[in-house]
């Protein structure tokens, strides 16, 4: 099973966008992730390719974001929360989403 990390980023972006449009509070995000250097999700700042999947694919369930993909997403979430707190419109680099 393959999953592009950009899909997880897009889902989180959409989550924040919907809450922003509705004027509601984004109360939580659940992610499948690990601190291990796995190759279960394609993409990220240190790109994992389709050919890399078999080298360190250890999950028996949903594919997990690896450490660098998780950090990338954590920074995006932190930036969205910061901008929300100070009342600015989100402007995340399109390349990340």
Feature table: binding site? 32, 62
CB 38 within 8 A of CB 56: yes
CB 67 within 8 A of CB 35: yes
Task: Find, among 29, 34, 44, the residue nearest to 64 by Cα.
Answer: 34
CB 48 within 8 A of CB 66: yes
Binding site for Mn(2+): residue ranges?
Answer: 32, 62
């Amino acid at each position: 099973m393959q999953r592009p990390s950009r899909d997880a980023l897009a889902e989180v972006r959409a989550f924040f966008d919907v809450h922003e449009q509705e004027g509601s509070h984004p109360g939580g995000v659940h992610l499948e992730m690990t601190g291990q250097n796995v190759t279960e999700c394609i993409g990220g700042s240190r790109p994992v390719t389709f050919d890399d999947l078999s080298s360190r694919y250890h999950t028996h369930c949903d594919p997990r974001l690896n450490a660098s993909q998780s950090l990338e997403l954590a920074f995006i979430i932190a930036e969205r929360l910061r901008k929300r707190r100070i009342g600015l419109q989100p402007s995340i680099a399109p390349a990340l989403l």
